[in-house]
Amino acid sequence: MIRSSPSIPIPRTVPLLPLQNKVLLPGVVTRLQISRRDSLSLFEKILRTYDSRELNKCIIGAFPIHIPPSDASSNNNDKKSSKSGRTQGELISPGPSPVYPNVGMGTGKSSGTGNPGDSSGQLAISNRDTLNPSHIHPTGCAARLVRLERTVGGFLVVLEGLVRLRLNRVTSQHPYFEVDVSPMPDKPVDKSDIELQDQIVALRSTSKEFVALLQSLKLPAPVLTQLQKFLESVGVIPGQVVDLLMSTIESTVDEKIAILDAVDLKERITKAVELLTRQIHVLKISQKVHDNVEGKLNKKQREFYLRQQMAAIKEELGEKDGAEEDEMTVIENRLNAANLPSDVQKAADREMKRLKKMQPASSEYSVIRNYLDWLSDLPWSKSSEDILDVERARKQLNDDHHGLEKVKRRILEYLAVTKLQQLKGDVKGPILCLVGPPGVGKTSLGRSIAMAMGRKFHRISLGGVWDESEIRGHRRTYVGALPGLVIHGLKKVEVNNPVILLDEIDKIGSRGHHGDPSAAFLEVLDPEQNSTFTDHYLNVPFDLSKILFIATANSIDTIPAPLLDRMELITLPGYTYAEKLAIATNHLLPKQIRQHGLSEEDIQVTEDALLKVATGFTRESGVRQLEREIGAIVRAKAVQYAEIQEQHTTTDVVAVVDSKAKEDPNVSKPKEYQPLVTLADVEDILGQDKYINEVTERLAVPGVVTGMAYNDVGGGILFIEVSQMPGKGHLQLTGSLGDVIKESAHIALSWVKSHGYEVGLTTSPGQNVMEKADVHIHMPSGATPKDGPSAGIAMVCALVSMFSNQIVPTTTAMTGEFTLRGLVMPVGGIKEKVIAAHRAGIRKIIMPLRNQKDVTSDVPVNVRDEIEFVYASTVWEVLREAFEGRVMVRGTGVTTSGIDSRM
């Protein structure tokens, strides 16, 4: 109820309770949680002094506190602890306080409003040392102690405001503040004061309108009852009603202090009418918005609206960080920042509307949320600036790779064309595919291209990818669906024009019950289609035309023809020994030295030693095994270096050993570290050679010919062995041979049988060279599958060698296919085969005449200088060069050199 006057006399000196961000007005009840040290001392004394039935006789002065900015900044930590709920207080009007709709009342600065649950209303600073008399506001309120309970860490106190107080002076500061005060009760209303009566009428009229709004909002009845007493009765003091209204409406601390300072009734009513009018306008707007929205909400929308109200209430209670943005707002801001294309924006807006209507606990909610996260994270319009400097790219490629001149030239051509296309605004480049054996630098070439262009680099490993969804993404029909590898890569690099390396595209899975992953790349790698690539998960087009795709493969045989048609092939052959020596000196050795914690002064390897490692311990087209062997040498030297360092760690020990060595020559001095690695050191560290020169080690016997092959790891030599035995003319083939090479064997045998008399293998034209014999053709290393159309002429020479008992020199190799008419056909992989033959010690090569241009353009000069190349167009020319004129043509008296191509 509203009290007409305080029933308890106010002492001259009262204990002071400081209130920060909070104001207690007469006639209002407040509940406080006390935890300050000096306030604890005050209430401990009250418990000792007053009986529980006499607590209402205790009078306390509650004064607001003003903290200057300098003091406030030094006391920031105490304020934070206060916010956490240590000193929260709550004002309680004589009845339950109103709960308004989710539209803020007042100016929006709600600190210290005094409404129930207002977390900003707090006691003064928790550090007593920062409080001095200058901080205390001169006007306060005498409060009667209604209830006092001991709690964990402090006291729960309920106070009732009685009358305004004026602070005269501070009489004591320890253990708590005591002040000398003077009461300032409200004066009786002068009915002869016309101006005051008019103000009371205005207050009564405004209060009626306010009460009507509260009734329409169905707020708690006790508050309305107290206000209606003022409207219906003339015995109620208007000043007390103003204090009650200030505890009901939303207002700032400064506004409440202004009401507390307004001892004059006219001034207090004027300020109250102003604040009450503002509150009425806010309630009207709130009621209008509430009514408009309420009629349009369905069940789910109502739940969402209530959740928003709950979030607002939690924020007012301090249970939610005020700086934290709403989840939906965060998603919308991210989508707006992504700068989505128009069609993608429509899809995002549609999904956003669905998300707002769903409950967070729904499984579909997380699916849509993840989808929107992907849309906002993808770089729809974010690109990196290209650095299309041809000279810079040339230097980058030369620094990173030795040799590969043809490959570098093609890459520079691509960059130059791209630069010119950008000037015209039309950039559609080919898809490069680097084909070559392992270890020749295909992946590192892609990384060098990205660095030369200033683009980001991403590598996608395709080996063993069997599911089409790994490329095109999974459809959003179940929880856990994700986009494909290309979209994943774009999210990672955060730009829409990176260099994406499709590694091992020849090892991608074939068609199965999960689809055909190679077919999924047809749209990705087609410059005419990938501008509208649609991932199954996103279900909206994404422009892939700005991406530079570079594929790598060891062989093109397993790549489907439609996919191969979309790529431009660039072949990377194997390295010669000279190139391997340069790569080891400039790249591999310095890299291994750095990785093993040494410096270039700590280890030096001679060229002879490196060449020995390349020739005796590796037999590959690339340099991976070479790097491993160099690493083994560096590790061995690192062990020696560490042991020598341990022996020289203590200078005193070295000095003692040196002095003993002078006295006794038998005492050995500490060993000195030798950084130089010689040819002898290589043999000590790596042991015996792993590979020997098979060509020079083999004995020349009839029926054995050296062929040349191309495989996934580059080129190599292939020995063909033929033997005959008594039989009935059967042919046996062994050595894991494929269908193509088996056909070559049958063709070779047919040609030899049909031309046996001309070559001198039979005594009469109609005689069968295999009349009473079986032939067995074998290719060693049977565990290695062999196939390909390049061993035809080698098999003919092997058969002729066996039947004629003539040998073909072991240093002579040959490659080429032929027809039944004896015409030699060209073959592929010439550079790889020639380099492999050079590594094996071959010094003469017989090949088709039409492959001469491949030798001239592709084979390094130093290799051409060390090998004799013979070009043949018919089998007769092959036999002439292979047997060096030792096979006679029966009946003419001339060697095979006299046979021309008409045969």
What residues are annotated to the active site? Answer: 790, 833
Residues 6 or more apart in contact with residue 662 via CB below 8 angstroms: none
Residues 6 or more apart in contact with residue 233 via CB below 8 angstroms: none
| Structure tokens that stand for 501 in this block | 């390396």
The pairing of strands 178-184 and 154-172 is antiparallel
| Structure tokens that stand for 128 in this block | 């007593």
Choose among 501, 682, 680: nearest CA to 584: 682
Count of Cβ atoms closer than 10 Å to residue 259 Cβ:
21
- 29 has which bridge partners? 92, 160
Distances from the Cα of 594 to the Cαs of 231, 248, 582, 599, in angstroms?
91, 76, 18, 7
Which H or E run contains 550? strand 548-553
Distance between CA atoms of residues 450 and 454, nearest Å: 6
Distances from the Cα of 830 to the Cαs of 275, 440, 597, 709, 790, in angstroms?
96, 17, 42, 9, 10
Q: Which residue has the tokens 């996934």?
A: 712
- Cβ(584)–Cβ(448) under 8 Å? no
Q: Is 824 annotated as a binding residue?
A: no
The pairing of strands 824-825 and 457-461 is unpaired
Choose among 346, 348, 347, 342: nearest CA to 328: 348
Distance between CA atoms of residues 101 and 302, nearest Å: 14
Choose among 859, 267, 211, 173: nearest CA to 574: 859
Instruction: Write the DSSP string, 399-439.
Output: HH-SS-HHHHHHHHHHHHHHHHHHHHT-----EEEEE--TT
Q: Is 436 annotated as a binding residue?
A: yes
The dihedral formed by the CA atoms of 293, 295, 299 and 302, expressed in degrees to the nearest 10: 30
DSSP 622: S
Helices 739-754 and 792-804: angle between axes, nearest 10 degrees: 40
Please list the helix, strand and coil fractions of the chain in percent, rounded to the nearest 5, in that order.
Answer: 45, 20, 35
Coil, helix or strand at residue 503: strand
Q: Which residue has the tokens 């650095």?
A: 387
In this structure, is the dihedral angle defined by the CA atoms of residues 17, 23, 25 and 30, taken in order, positive or negative? negative
Q: Is 440 annotated as a binding residue?
A: yes
Q: Is 106 annotated as a binding residue?
A: no
Distance between CA atoms of residues 672 and 649, nearest Å: 13
Q: Is 442 annotated as a binding residue?
A: yes
Distance between CA atoms of residues 728 and 724, nearest Å: 11
- Cβ(112)–Cβ(19) under 8 Å? no
- 184 has which bridge partners? 164
C-alpha of 235 from chain center: 75
Give phi and psi for 418, each to the nearest 5. Answer: -60, -40
- Cβ(623)–Cβ(578) under 8 Å? no
Instruction: Please tell me the number of Cα atoms within 13 Å of 692 on its side-chain side.
Output: 6
Instruction: Write the DSSP string, 327-392.
Output: HHHHHHHHHHHTT--HHHHHHHHHHHHHHHTS-TTSHHHHHHHHHHHHHHHS-SS--PPP---HHH
Q: Which residue has the tokens 């010439």?
A: 830
Q: Is 437 annotated as a binding residue?
A: yes
Instruction: Please tell me the number of Cα atoms within 13 Å of 164 on its side-chain side.
Output: 22
Q: Is 85 annotated as a binding residue?
A: no
Binding residues: 436-443
Binding residues for ATP: 436-443
